[in-house]
Amino acid sequence: LKAEALEKVEKAYSPSDLQDVKVAYLGKKGPITEVLRGMGKLSQEERPIIGELANTVREAITEAIETKKNTLEAIELERKLQEEAIDVTLPGRPVSVGGPHLLTKIVEEIEDLFIGMGFEIREGPEVETDYYNFEALNLPKGHPARDMQDSFYITEDLLLRTHTSPVQARTMEEYKGSRPVKMICPGKVYRRDTDDATHSHQFTQIEGLYVDKNVRMSDLKGVLNHFAKQLFGEDREIRLRPSFFPFTEPSVEMDISCKVCGGDGCSVCKGTGWIEILGGGMVHPNVLEMAGYDPKVYNGFAFGMGPERIAMLKYGVDDIRHFYTNDVRFLSQYHNA
Ligand code: PHE
């Protein structure tokens, strides 16, 4: 019996074969159990002899099964390792890494520049009330200058903000007319424009506001000059031209000289050699007053610029739609710019 069982163990090729052998020889209906169960019928003298014999046989078979089990497991492990082996000498598949959007980069660069001059970064809602978008900026209902910015209205009183200037009024209100304000606010704005190479119904702006005692136009010019040179290079000049915005008085538009230098010398990018990049001016007394600042004590300057324009100028992008159509071939060119 023992020899027969051991031979079967030897021949087992899988754990399930082994299990069969175990059940057949050591199981409840197996011969060993049968022998042990029949012990009662044996004489006093035979019992220990047969008992011991049965136990030795059982132990031998159990041990053989155990050993075989370990061997089978080792073989199985070996097989798996071979099957799953990785050939580290094969060339890897290239992984393409993404990067920040060109606009994000420009906005962050501009933020850093203004943080360096002591400005804080603020944000405001894109769905804005008529009050903050227009009224608080000296643009009462029916004011003709409202037409300068074609708006997306949601209700009679709610619209998608047409510029980031409402954040001027919101910030001043929050500071309750009692302390200087020095902030910039980047964000998305919306206008009812037909999209083309230079217009988009959604674009971004960065607003700037500095309110304190004795702020002068020359402070505005100094800040903008520093900003332009840091962003575009020391050889760039700025110029301010008179303009009109209802919320600033006087109002200006700022141009930057657009000499473009390359391998074969420098050329002027456009007819006049100047390109407009922002609007600004001295905060209108009505705007200060409505937001709770006494215009006899406080004054300030404000400006608003378009990061798309600036990115187009700095990186030679020829169509504003590139920023929004998400063509990776365009976007990935600037990952290391
Ligand atoms: N909000 C103006 C625009 O969108 C820009 C601006 C901001 C002008 C602040 C003056 C002061 O055209």
CA atoms within 13 A on the CB side of 59: 6
The H or E element spanning position 286 is: helix 285-290
d(CA 333, CA 337): 8
The H or E element spanning position 257 is: strand 248-257
- Name which residue sits closest to atom 5 of ligand 1, judged by CA: 304
Pocket probe mutation, ligand 1, options 163, 199, 206, 299, max atoms within 8 Å of Cβ: 163
Q: Is the pLDDT of residue 62 over 90?
A: no
Q: Which residues does the annotation place in the binding site for Mg(2+)?
A: 249
CA of residue 279 to ligand 1 center, whole Å = 5
Q: Is the pLDDT of residue 286 over 80?
A: yes
With contact defined as beta carbons under 8 Å apart, do 303 and 249 qualify?
A: no
With contact defined as beta carbons under 8 Å apart, do 127 and 160 qualify?
A: yes
* Better-scored residue on pLDDT, 41 or 172: 172
d(CA 277, CA 309): 7
Helix axes 15-26, 46-83, angle to 10 degrees: 170
Over residues 318-322, the mean pLDDT reads 92
The H or E element spanning position 274 is: strand 274-283
Predicted pLDDT at 266:
64
Q: Is the CB of 300 under 6 A from ligand 1?
A: no
- Name which residue sits closest to atom 7 of ligand 1, judged by CA: 304
Q: Among 30, 10, 144, which Cα is nearest to 71's? A: 10
Give the model confidence (pLDDT) of 63-81 as tens digits: 888 888 888 889 889 999 9
Give the model confidence (pLDDT) of 245-269 as tens digits: 999 999 999 999 886 666 666 666 6
Amino acid symbol at 247:
F
275 beta partners: 256
